[in-house]
Amino acid sequence: MIQKVFNRRVLITSVIIFIIAGLFIYRLTELHFSEKILLNNPFKLINIRRGYITDRNRNILAISIQKESIYANPEKIKDPAAAAAVIASVLGDSEQSVLQKLKSDKKFVWIKRKVDEEPAAEIKKHKFEGIYFKKEFKRVYPNISLAANILGFTGIDNNGLEGVEFKMDSVLSGFSSGDESAFQLGDNLVLTIDKYIQYYAEKYLAETVQQYSAKQGAVIITDPYSGKIIAYAKYPSYDPNYYYKAGRNEWRNFAVVDAFEPGSTMKIFSMAALLKSGQLDASKKYNCTGAVQIGDTVINCTGVHGSIDIMDVIKYSCNVGVITSMNTVNSSILYSTLRNFGFGESTNSQLPGESSGILREVDSWSGLSKYSISIGQELSVTGLQMAAAYGAIANNGEYIEPSIFESIENYNHKVIKQFDSVSRGKIISPEEAAFLRKMLANVVDGGTGKNAASKNYVFGGKTGTAQKYIRSAGSYSSSSNVASFAGIAPIDNPKLVIIVIIDEPVDVTSGGQVAAPLFKKIAEKSLVYLGESNRVLKKLDPIDKKPVLPALEYKTMPDMRGMFFADALMILEEIQKTRAVKYVIDGQGIVTSQVPSAGTVIKNGDKIILYTGKDDE
Amino acid sequence: MDLKNVIDTRRKGTPDIIMFFTVFILIGLGIAMSYSASAVFAQKIFSDSFYFLKRQLLWFIVSFAAFILFQQIDYRIYKKYTKVLLLGSLVMLIFLLIPGLGHVAKGSSRWIRVGAFGLQPSEFVKIVLIIYLAKVFSAKKDTSDNPLFQLLIPVIILAIMFLLILLQPDFGTAIDLLFVSVAVLFVSGFSLFYILTLFILSVPAFYLLIYQVDYRRERILAYLNPWQDRYGIGYHIVQAFIAFKKGSVFGAGLGNGTQKISRLPEPHNDFIFAVIAEEAGFAGTVAVIILYCVFFWRGISIALNAPDDFGRLLGTGITLMLVIQAFINIGVVTGSLPTTGIPLPFISYGGSSLLSSMIAAGILLNISRYSDVVHDSDIYNPEFSEVWE
């Protein structure tokens, strides 16, 4: 090695290294201080608009509207009593509490946050010294409680606290640096749910829960081919605009976060295991005398069914028949079949707090376990797991993970991420799936699910009536149970999977009586809405297709002041879906005034004009 | 091996004191930052916010012992064992790729489990390879040989190691290794013509290895426009950008960062620079760059003052290995390079990384002890006679 060459080349290397170090330092000044690095944006906003949430048809479910927040520096207020009197009367608050705030010894105190423009302007007129105003976005849920249990809600600082708002907080919330010179607007979220089907599900669910004085209820509707959750209704629900008036009981998505013992809705998966074992013999007769003994335990049946074939075992939900058939099924095959159908693990739906349910490993099964599990005991499942598992039967044996997110769009409505369906592959063959669907159709056709039968469509499904296991007593409760129905609509051409769970109905308690009729109502309405041809009317009248729902559509002009113009555009487009109106948005930024004013009835041919302030005052 | 040969008891100078302190400032910073970065994560996963701190301190003790040991071992001894070291490296790397033996974590098989701890052999293989290259290129050459022919065997060995590391897959380490090897080749005085020829010959291989592997291509595309895919691969980079922006001049203060909470991937590990950016601001990030520059400056001086060619090349190689690794990491976090996972030497959480970096620093310090005694006949030892020219 030549020393001179070495020295020279080391010098060259050193120069390169120091140049790179210099470039890094330059890059660091850019990253730490430049405003161009973060999304360069033409709109100057004081705080960051949280992205909106829509359903799959881009109907707004949650939106942000700019409001005025009033704060004070008590040190600078000369006459607190006079100021308090004015402020309290304008805001309709107690004078005492306002005065207390104005007299506190802090340098900063909120008087009221996110108030409407008019009262704020009224207070501004008085030009009180030491009283200041700051524009802040307020989260608004225009459909009130619709889809509340999916959406969740945000706190006063627009941070997601529950539901999708919580799960997708970093997507929706955007970012602002401390000095507000650099920011990124929150992105918009499109959900897979359908506002109208969601509405039907919630409406009829509420009726059923009230009718049977049940503790709570839930309905999950999915598209079996994509796993997309089209509706998730829960009752009791709440108004996310005033989420603090409700409590954990209303917020809690029990069909997602709590697992329950499903009972007979599981029997169809025992049949799948029977098929997998190659032991399903359609001609074999099972003799039901009303009870069966396994070891020391006697398991009662739902009735005395006599000698019936396997089709009728499911049709009449015969415990004895299912248990007897399990004699030919290996425990490990039953276990692996249930695992393949997604029981005992999360469905990865991305809904917050999803439970995995409990399906114990075969090693820890007792002699009784195989039989108990085959009729839906000794395991717990969630409503979502049920929906996904029935989805696999509807989808010719392919299991698709349920999902709630359709896409993410930027503030300019451009799609920046599309969520794709995640398949776990074929878990049973299409023929096996078709056979199971035949069994399910049979249940509705005069079996325990006959209350789900429709004149217009062919439905299939399975009822479930599970006694609740009372942990403190160590036994099953005789009075409280879970009535459920898991169905596919229509069964001859699956479009929707609908899971109905009614928790602790009173007096009338069976799944067939309580849950099946609710399934039928929701399924019929949803299929008509989706324009599915039915037996009576080969093709649906277009008027029938989109029934007008006054509660969900803008009959009168909404107050759009304070909305980010691109968000207001979404509302205008939503109005256009039902009314032939024209619109103009004058400028960019935040809407400051509108014609016609809020509350005016919108008629066909109306013209809506929105004016925006170019800058923030 | 006979310990008397290993522990060098002959006369030598004091180690480079600036280098010594630079390394310890970096490590101190690393322990503080990786604790701050990991506390929330550790609390969530292990219900113990000190989980990573405890482990890192334990590793520090082990690494410190290794550091002291290695700065005592005469660096020339490694020349005698290059074959054994290379063979050992090869065995370990192949071992990792055998399904069921290597410990798979985060989709790659980089670790060998030793009790509760994982060792990442590729961190040590890098040092072995530098020792090997330093030996080969410092040896007297038969000038009649075609230089390309002289390169043949080292290039084959390098290519095998590179591929084995790439297969784990550990792209960051493989690239670090490649850069260092080219640099050693360069400083050893090889004609630029041959180096360039080698480069051109390897272009098709790189095309296949990088652009044909889907996730690497995606990473490169995400690098070109992180905002386009800000919920996919671009997400980490965008979150890091936000950390920089939040950090501003002096940062939010130690422990006060928020990006590390579920927004940055493994904030205590590969993205620790972003945590420094948020909590210590521009002052902190520039300080880190300056510390690595000081390290580089001292490392290169040690190499320049080494008494023999082997020492010169070894010193240059080791210094560059650590500095290039640091620059790759900083390049990724600042969005200047495509995403690849590589720890920030001395600072990132991780036992193998700390141990191998400390061993490397120990070797460098050992070389520094001979800088003043180049012509001192006292240290002449026939055992190393081939070194003296």
Q: Place B229 in a pLDDT band, splitting at 50, 70 and 90.
A: low
pLDDT of res. A53: 94
- Helix B309-333 and helix B121-138, axial crossing angle in degrees, nearest 10: 140
Nearest to B188 among A1, A171, A408 (CB): A1
Longest dimension (CA), chain B: 66
Q: Does A48 touch chain B (CB under 8 A)?
A: no
Nearest to A32 among B138, B245, B292 (CB): B245
Q: Do A20 and B245 touch (CB under 8 A)?
A: no
Reported as a single tens digit per residue, the pLDDT across B142-200 is 565 666 677 788 888 888 888 888 877 778 888 888 888 888 888 888 778 877 887 78
Which of the two residues, A543 and B53, has the higher pLDDT score? B53
pLDDT of res. B11: 53
Distance from CA of A154 to the nearest CA of B (A): 19
Q: Do B296 and A14 touch (CB under 8 A)?
A: yes
Is cis: bond before B204, omega within 30 of 0? no
> How far apart are alpha carbons A453 and A519 in whole angstroms?
9
Q: What is the DSSP letter of B229?
A: G
> How far apart are alpha carbons A573 and B69 in whole angstroms?
73
Q: Which residue of A has its CA nearest to B281?
A: A32
> How far apart are alpha carbons B74 and A274 in whole angstroms?
72
Q: What residues of chain A lie within 8 A of the CB of B327, using their CB?
A: 17, 20-21, 24
Which H or E element spans position B34? Answer: helix B17-46
Q: Which two tokens stand for residue A399?
A: 């299991």
**What region does A236 belong to: left with phi over 0, alpha with psi -120 to 50, or beta?**
beta
> How far apart are alpha carbons A242 and A238 in whole angstroms?
8
Q: What residues of chain B lie within 8 A of the CB of A173, using their CB?
A: none
Report whether pLDDT(B116) > 80.
no
pLDDT of res. A463: 94
Which of the two residues, B336 and A453, has the higher pLDDT score? A453
Which of the two residues, B168 and A316, has the higher pLDDT score? A316
pLDDT of res. A181: 46
> How far apart are alpha carbons A10 and B280 in whole angstroms?
33
Q: Which two tokens stand for residue B171?
A: 């792209």
> How far apart are alpha carbons B353 and B59 in whole angstroms?
10
Q: Do B244 and A182 touch (CB under 8 A)?
A: no
pLDDT of res. A617: 39
> How far apart are alpha carbons B183 and A230 in whole angstroms?
59
Q: What is the mean pLDDT of residues B39-62?
A: 80
Amino acid at B214: D
Q: What residues of chain A lie within 8 A of the CB of B282, using their CB?
A: 28-29, 32-33
Q: Which residue of A has its CA nearest to B323?
A: A17
Distance from CA of A425 to the nearest CA of B (A): 21
> How far apart are alpha carbons B195 and B193 in whole angstroms?
6
Asked if A68 and B374 touch (Cβ cutoff 8 Å), the reply is: no
Q: Place B233 in a pLDDT band, splitting at 50, 70 and 90.
A: low
Reported as a single tens digit per residue, the pLDDT across B178-190 is 888 888 888 888 7
Interface test with A, best of B136, B180, B187 (most A CBs within 10 A): B187
Report whether pLDDT(B266) > 90.
no
Given A264, A317, A349, A526, the catalytic residue: A264
Q: What is the mean pLDDT of residues B312-322?
A: 93
Q: What residues of chain B lie within 8 A of the CB of A32, using their CB?
A: 244-245, 247-249, 277, 281-282, 285
Q: What is the mean pLDDT of residues A582-611?
A: 84
Q: Does A14 touch chain B (CB under 8 A)?
A: yes
Q: What residues of chain A lie within 8 A of the CB of B189, using their CB?
A: 1-2, 5-6, 9
Q: Do A38 and B241 touch (CB under 8 A)?
A: yes
Angle at B178 between CA B176 and CA B184, to 5 degrees: 100
- Counted across chains A and B, CB pairs separated by less than 8 A come out at 102
Q: Place A179 in a pLDDT band, splitting at 50, 70 and 90.
A: very low
Report whether pLDDT(B375) > 60.
no
Interface test with B, best of A17, A25, A172, A175 (most B CBs within 10 A): A17
Q: Does A300 touch chain B (CB under 8 A)?
A: no
Q: How many CB atoms lie within 10 A of CB A478?
A: 9
State the average pLDDT for chain A.
86
Which runs of consecutive H residues, i.e. helices, occur in B170-271? 171-187, 192-206, 214-224, 234-247
C-alpha to C-alpha distances, A449 to A25, A264, A392, A514, A522, nearest whole angstrom: 71, 12, 20, 10, 15
Give the predicted TM-score (pTM) of the model: 0.65
Asked if B176 and B126 touch (Cβ cutoff 8 Å), the reply is: yes
Reported as a single tens digit per residue, the pLDDT across A519-560 is 999 999 899 888 887 766 555 554 455 555 555 678 888 888
Q: Do B138 and A1 touch (CB under 8 A)?
A: yes
Q: What phi, psi does A208 have (nearest 5°)?
A: -65, -45
pLDDT of res. A602: 86
Report whether pLDDT(A581) > 90.
no
pLDDT of res. B385: 40
Distance from CA of A310 to the nearest CA of B (A): 45
* Known catalytic residue at A264: yes
Which runs of consecutive H residues, i.e. helices, occur in A76-127? 80-91, 95-102, 117-125
Report whether pLDDT(A257) > 50.
yes
Q: What is the mean pLDDT of residues B300-315?
A: 89
Q: What is the mean pLDDT of residues B341-345?
A: 86
Please state, for a pLDDT cut of 90, what percent of chain A lies above it.
44
Q: Does A171 touch chain B (CB under 8 A)?
A: yes
Asked if A217 and A501 touch (Cβ cutoff 8 Å), the reply is: yes
The length of chain A is 617
CA proximity to A220, closest of A482, A460, A498: A498
Q: Which two tokens stand for residue A409?
A: 């769009």
pLDDT of res. B112: 67
Nearest to B183 among A2, A13, A23 (CB): A13
Question: Look-up: residue for tokens 């980079």?
Answer: B237
Reported as a single tens digit per residue, the pLDDT across A117-158 is 888 888 888 888 888 888 888 898 988 889 999 999 988 878
Amino acid at A595: V
Which of the two residues, A82 and B254, has the higher pLDDT score? A82
Q: What residues of chain B lie within 8 A of the CB of A37, using their CB?
A: 241, 244-245
Reported as a single tens digit per residue, the pLDDT across B199-220 is 787 777 777 776 666 666 666 6
Asked if A224 and A549 touch (Cβ cutoff 8 Å), the reply is: no
Reported as a single tens digit per residue, the pLDDT across A328-363 is 999 999 999 999 999 999 999 888 888 899 999 999
Amino acid at A22: G
Which of the two residues, A399 and B11, has the higher pLDDT score? A399
pLDDT of res. A44: 35
CA proximity to B354, closest of B193, B120, B73, B107: B120
Q: Place B389 in a pLDDT band, splitting at 50, 70 and 90.
A: very low
CA proximity to A88, closest of A121, A111, A108, A69: A111
Q: What residues of chain B lie within 8 A of the CB of A160, using their CB?
A: none
> How far apart are alpha carbons B141 and B143 in whole angstroms?
6
Reported as a single tens digit per residue, the pLDDT across B69-107 is 998 888 888 888 888 888 988 888 888 777 666 655 555
Instruction: Give the alpha-carbon dihedral of A400, A404, A409, A415, to 10 degrees.
Output: 20
Asked if A494 and A394 touch (Cβ cutoff 8 Å), the reply is: yes
Q: Do B242 and A27 touch (CB under 8 A)?
A: no
Q: What is the DSSP letter of B325?
A: H
Which H or E element spans position B119? Answer: strand B117-119
C-alpha to C-alpha distances, A473 to A369, A469, A477, A478, A596, nearest whole angstrom: 20, 8, 9, 12, 64
Q: Do A5 and B183 touch (CB under 8 A)?
A: no
DSSP-based three-state secondary structure for A484: strand
Question: Look-up: residue for tokens 């889907």?
Answer: B214
Report whether pLDDT(A27) > 60.
yes
- Strands ordered across the beta sheet of B117-119: B103-105, B108-114, B117-119
Q: Which two tokens stand for residue A319?
A: 């415990």
Which of the two residues, B169 and A277, has the higher pLDDT score? A277
- Lowest mean pLDDT, pick from A252-261, A279-288, A404-413, B167-176: B167-176
Q: Do A28 and B242 touch (CB under 8 A)?
A: no
pLDDT of res. A390: 96
Question: Look-up: residue for tokens 């009959």?
Answer: A555
Q: Place A389 in a pLDDT band, splitting at 50, 70 and 90.
A: very high
* ipTM of the modeled complex: 0.85
Asked if A127 and A159 touch (Cβ cutoff 8 Å), the reply is: no
Q: What is the DSSP letter of B207?
A: I
Reported as a single tens digit per residue, the pLDDT across A467-507 is 887 777 777 777 788 999 999 989 999 999 999 999 999 88
pLDDT of res. B144: 56
Q: Do B188 and A6 touch (CB under 8 A)?
A: yes
